[in-house]
Structures are given as C-alpha cells and as structure tokens.
Structure 1
C-alpha cells in the first residue's frame, strides 16, 4: 500500500515540476525570439553580425545553459515551488548565472554576439520567467483550495502546540496541507485536542502512525519528543519511506530573512536577527515613501478630482473627512479621506452600535452601515476614499505600507504588546489590508501588524503594494 501511495504522490509532484520546466522552456524560447526581433529597437547598443542566424544557432545552447542553471539553483525544488520568495530569488539568480556564463564564453571565444540581442534576451527573459512562475502559483493555489495537490500532515506534540500549528495550516489553505490528525505525548486516551484536531495516536509511535495513516509529512511541534535521541530514532524508523519530516520551532511570526541555521558541533542553532522596527522608521523607508507617494499622487489626481466633485454634488457636504489618528510614537495627526458617509455620521454612531461585528475588539465594523452614501460605498469598495492619505505620506505622518492608523480611543484600550504597532508610521496599506481588510478579527489584525513591525524590509513593502492592487480590485472585506 505504501509503495502505491508513494508512486501516486511522486507522480503528481513530478508532473508539477515537469509543467513548470516546460513553461520555462517556452518562456526562454519566446524571449530569444523577441530579442532577435527587437534588436534594432535598442539604438544605444549597436548590433553586430547576422543576429537572426546567431539566434538560431546559439538559441538552443542558451536555452540548455539557462535550464541547467535553473536546475542547479534549485528552482524546481519541491519545498519552494509555490511558497515564499525563495523561488523567485532563485529564478533571478539562475538568469544572472546564465548571463554571466554566456558573456564570459563569448569573450573567451571572441564570438561576435550582438550586445543588443544579449541585453534584450535577459531583460525580457528574466521578468517573463518571474511572471510565469507567479501565474503558475495562482493555478497551484487554486488547485489546492479545491482539494488537489494536497500534502497529508500529521502534527505531533503537546495538544496546545498542535492546535496552534493546525490553526495556521487551516487559515492558509492555499499551502495545501490536509491535517490527518494529531499525535500527543499523553498516555491518557483522548479523542481530539481542544482545538478539534482528532488524536490518532501517541508520539512514541510516530513512525507506525505515519505509515498507517499514509501521511506525507510529520510536523513535530513542542512536546513531540523528550530528547534529540528520540527524534533521531523516529528519523531512522521512517528511513526508506516517502514521509517528510519538519520541526516547528518555538518561534512564531518571525520572517525567514531574520533566521539563519548555523550548526555548532552537531547542534542546529537558529540565529535570529533583532526586530526591524528601527529600520522601518529610518531614511531608506522614508525616501521610498516620498518617491512612491509623489508618483502615485500624480497618477491618481484625475480620479481624485472626479470623486471630489461627485462627493460635493451628492449632498453639498465637505469633500474631505478629517479625523485625528495616532501616528508613530503616539503622535497625533489629521488623517485625510474622501467623505464616504453622511455629514452627521458621528452623531448616528450610538444608534447603530448593535450592527458592530467586532463587539469584543476595539474597532467598530458594520458590513451594512446605513451611514455610508452611494458614492461612498463605491469609493470604499475600491479604496478610493483613502487616496488623500497620499498627502499624509508626503507630509511624513504616514507611510505607504504600515500598520492601520488607529484612533486615540482605540490606542487607550491597547494592551502592552499591541503598543508596539506605534513604533512605526501607520500605513496607507499593509498586511491587514491584503489579508482580508474588515473581514479580519481584531486578533488577526494585531498579529499581522506586529509581524510587519518586527520583520520589515523593502522587498516586503513592494510585495504588499503589489498585493494591494489585487486586494482592491477583488474588494474582499471592503466595507
């Protein structure tokens, strides 16, 4: 039975890798043809020789070297396909390696390779490969949400830790983990953990339970084994079987960029870099905000003028809604938005308190708020009402990306840990917006904001801005 399962699972993974590799071949071939066709459109880089014949003769060699570089850089490795930024980094690294090899080979052999063709080939090919991988991820994620390409998982450890890990896997369904059950250390028989994960066995029988349940992966959380020797024995028992193992460290909400594995005398030490909240409030991010907000404001100005007129013509009230919010280090500032509610919205708040979806949190959320105007509902759906906050970003009160700007009344109710959100400027967008917006619970909003504060990077800001475009047009949680 195990052999048949292994064959079926391996076949699906090989098909996925083959599909990705086939797409890479098509993209690189297309880039080669485009580079040959567009070579005269680069006037600052002169062409040399018969580029068409060079492209035909050299193209297959470049394709072969590029695909070999992809394989060597691990762009088809199973753990990184469809998850995280490592795959993209390796794809770009393989493109750089190929460019270096082609350039060095041309120089050493004195081959007259057209510089225009060379520049265009990698300028077109590398971005196209990233776009292709991104598109493939969308397909894989949709398949996983529909129950395909799933990884069957057993979670081993103390019941509380099992529930914590299970909550993450259930929340991030696109990862494709199907939870089969839990293995707990207690000798007392229980049917399920407090979080509802069925208990199918005990940790001291991990290998037997993994094989019997046909698991693809065993996640070891805290409490899964009493000593390193026990874990080593489990690994020995699973040797020769197609069952992967992963250890969940007693760390949470720390990005991979802040962690580095450094073995010392056989002891795997995970070094964790300090939080990045100070870096998230200094010059580089500020310069990024200034340039980005200025460009965005110039592009958005026609749209802003149209909706400013529509808001004014609707009821004759003010165009802008000004509200005091709490910025970095608790400083107050006037947050600007297009007015999306009736003029006396604040006075009506007490009469609709029963509509609050977040009675246990510090935010007021009502999915069908009667105070929202027709123009305001449209602006909220596509976040147009927040465009004036670009002025706040230019003024230095806000950032393009950051935690949600909070009201003073909300901040007064913050617990100690939540105060850390105020270490950086609030953002026009953030992890909270691209992860669900108003559909998020208060706890999830706090968790995402604290993750951002501690793990800031320019790459993460760019990723969030790209995801914001999708979130805005999808309109999930916008009300």
Structure 2
C-alpha cells in the first residue's frame, strides 16, 4: 500500500489497467441483469413444470426485472442491501399480481405468482451473492480497489476498520494526504484545478482505483469535495465520504434531508423491545437443545476433571450481567485448588499488563485436563445453564467480574446494557491475542451495532475460531 505525499505536477495519460477497470465497472449492469433474468427464468421453468401453466412463467422475467429496477437494484451500490432490495421487488411484483387477479379473478394466476416470486427472490439473492467477484458492483466488492484521501491518522483508523469488517473487503491501494487547495502550477490553473487535485488524479490514474474514500477534515471543504466529485466522474471513479464514526453498522446510518440539506442520521442502538424478543427466545431454545444433546459429553468431562485433580467438577464465580445484576457463572474447573492465592506471585507474568484482565502463558495453576478444556473452549459448556436461566446469551460481551466493571470507561460501561455471552465479537476476532483496549472496543461495537444477522455471523464463525485455537490459552 503506497502512502502518497502531496506533490505538484500534471497527470500522465490513463493507464491501460485503469481503463480496463472502468470498462468492467460499466459492463457490470448488463451482467447483473443477466444474473437476475436467469434466476427468474429458472423459477418460471419450475412453475411451468409443476403446474403445466404458461401465463405466469411467460411474464415472470420482464416483471421481475422491472420490479428490481424500481428498487434501484442496478445502481452503483446494487450490492448494498441486496436482500432488502430483492424483498421489495418481490412485494411489488406480488402486489401487481394481486391487482391483476382483482380485475381477472383467476385463482391459478395468483397461486402461480405466489409460488414463483419466492423462488425468484431466493435464486436472485443466491446467484448475486455467489457470482464471481468481478461482476459485483461498487467498491465494496472483494476485488474493489480504493484510495483513501485524508489525514494520515484518520486514514489509519479507517483502514483498520475496513480490515476488521466481515463482508467483502476492498483493497486499499494508496493513501493520499489531504492538503491545502492553493492553485499552483500553470497546467493546473488552466484546467481550473489546484496542484494537489492534479496530483490526486495522477495517483488515481496510476493505481487504477475504483473509488476514492474521503475522510472528514478541515482540508476537505464542501467546494473542494464538489469539484473533486466532478474530476473523479470524468475518470469513472466513485467518490465516497467516510462517516466520522468508523465502527457504526451501515443499517444505523441513513441520509435524511432537512430543509433540503442531506444530513446523515445515526439511529440509536437496538437494546430492548421487540427486536430483542426473538433473540431471547432463540437463546433459551438453543441452550435447552444444547443441554439435551451435550449432557453425555458434559458428564464425561466432569468425571475427567474430578479424576485429574482434587476438587469439584465445576468452577463458580460471581460475574456482572445486564444492568449490573450479579449472577453465578458456571464453568468446568481448569485450575488446581488455591489458584487464586497464587495470583499475586504470578502478576508479573500477566501478558495484558493490566489488572482488568489476567492471563499468562503456560499458567502453572492450570491442570492437565484444564489445558485441553481451555484451548478447545469445552470448559464453557456449563454456561448453557446460564443461558437457559436467562442470565447470559449465546452471543454477547464477555462477562466481567466486579473489579473489571469498576475500571470500565464511560463507553465501556455500555456493554452492561445487554446480557453477556458465551461467545462474542472479540472471541472470533483473535480471542486472547487481542490487547485489552481492542477487546473492550469490540464488545462496545457489538452492543452498538447488534442485529440478528451479526449474532448469526458470530455463531457461524465460532467453531472455526475454536478449531484454530487462535489466541486460546
């Protein structure tokens, strides 16, 4: 990744590589239409084979493409909110079928439409998601190449946030430091551009980037951004403005016009109410299912712990849950008796260097069975009983002890607004390898940006993190 300082000069001719990228970007829309038409055609063939009627299959492809077009499914950000756009198109097409049925009441028409549209919607989402990356629109696709424009410190924070993302990541090909806009250079003045703008265009052409991400700062005023958007338009390159908050989920941001001025609205986190009810029910049902299926394994582990070293099978510890309520956390015992009394003499080995988290490599207090249970995370299976009792969730921030809660910052204390979890965002992002502040930041980010989709993503990533034993100890 190149870091480009400001220099003055006229830009060279466009490279063949950047021209090929812009041709590929322009050709993505017809290819996307072809993908959607294929999905609709497969659904139409399925309906025709099932019911041997031709009317709905004959009209499905054009109706489906028009419905998708009405939901802006072929714009520059077609892959953003893909499922939402497809569902909107399906609802619109269903409304059109209902209207046609009202004027021509044929039950087979409405029946076939209600069978064909879900098929078309599912196939469209699937084909769009798994089509080759080169056919995806927008700089957010996995092959997207972006140039970051702005102060070096802000650029580093943005790049780190992009790398932490869980979707298709763009490739940052250069960082261009924003500077003053004074016109310098005869060629730049004649073109109506500053020397800095000329240099930025030169870097855009040299790197063949798909988009420029501009970061907020005093150097990037409204006039400069407006001129930059026109300059980049001539190059076939998108201009995106990064929000001040990098760790905010896209669904929490919305453009809201106020007095004709487009403002970015930041929606409040979903912490309670109806959105959380399905999570509560799902947690308890899955915990009950897990207990029923894993009871034989837990019995074997409990016996192994008892035989491996003197002491009980379970370790109980008071932890702080949602709204600062205390509860007793259950785990399989992984340490010898009296381990807490040795904490002081081993404090100098704590690789976190902080009293808020205590963990050392090759801890002599850990038993033989405990070492395996920790690395495989099997010691946490008894927490399913905490989930079933409503004290914990399957996914959430790490449960803290009193001393850790007392040391939390104001932002860090937001993690107490939700139930702690058996697994969480930092557990699948590096586990014990992560520094203390990064773990707290990830927990707070989870609270602020919670959604059912995020929970599902973390649950699906957890087995892989456990198998890799990344950062476990």
Same fold (TM over 0.5): yes
Deviation (angstroms), 1:102: 2.9
Partner of 2:56: 58
- Distance between the aligned counterparts of 2:157 and 2:389, measured in 1? 41
Q: Which residue is equivalent to 1:430?
A: 424
**Is it true that 1:160 corresponds to 2:153 in the alignment?**
yes
Give distance in 2, aligned partners of 1:137 and 1:374. 48
Match of 2:234, SS?
coil
**Structure-1 residue corresponding to 2:288:** 298
Distance 1:212 1:478, change over 3 A: same
| Aligned counterpart in structure 2 of residue 101 of structure 1, from 96, 102, 106 | 96
Tell me, which stretches of 5 or more residues in structure 2 are unaligned? 1-12, 182-192
SS of alignment partner, residue 432 of structure 1: coil
**Equivalent residue, structure 1, for 2:436:** 442
Match of 1:253 in 2: 247
State the partner residue of 1:463: 454
- The answer to whether residue 202 in structure 2 is matched with residue 212 in structure 1 is yes
The normalised TM-score by structure 1 is 0.76
8 A Cα contact 1:210 1:218, kept in partner: no
CA separation of 1:13 and 1:237: change in aligned 2, threshold 3 A? closer
Any idea what the Cα deviations from partners look like across 1:91-148, whole Å, max 9, x if unmatched?
Answer: 222222222223333443344526654444334443444344444499999xx99x97
CA 1:30/1:108 → structure 2, altered by over 3 Å: closer, same or farther?
Answer: same
**Corresponding residue for 1:69?**
67
Aligned residues: 436
Aligned mates of 1:120, 1:72 — CA distance in 2: 21
Shift of 1:9: 0.8
- Contact kept, 8 Å, 2:317 with 2:330, in 1: the verdict is yes
Question: 5+ unaligned residues in a row in structure 1: which ranges?
Answer: 40-50, 188-202
Instruction: Trace 1:130-279 onto structure 2 (pairs within 5 A).
Output: 130-136=125-131, 149-156=143-150, 158-172=151-165, 174-185=168-179, 205-213=195-203, 214=205, 215-223=209-217, 225=219, 227-265=221-259, 267-273=261-267, 275-276=268-269
Q: 1:11 to 1:231 in 2, by over 3 A?
A: closer
1:153 Cα deviation after fit: 0.6
Per-residue CA deviations over 1:156-197 (Å, capped at 9, x if unaligned) read 3x333233223323444942132312223269xxxxxxxxxx
SS of the aligned residue for 2:239 comes to: strand
Which structure is richer in relative contact order (CA contacts within 8 A, separation 6 or more)?
2
1:200-230 deviations in Å (ceiling 9; x for gaps):
xxx9544312321124322222335364223
2:400 alignment partner in structure 1: 406
Counterpart for residue 6 of structure 2: none
After superposition, the CA RMSD in angstroms is 3.8
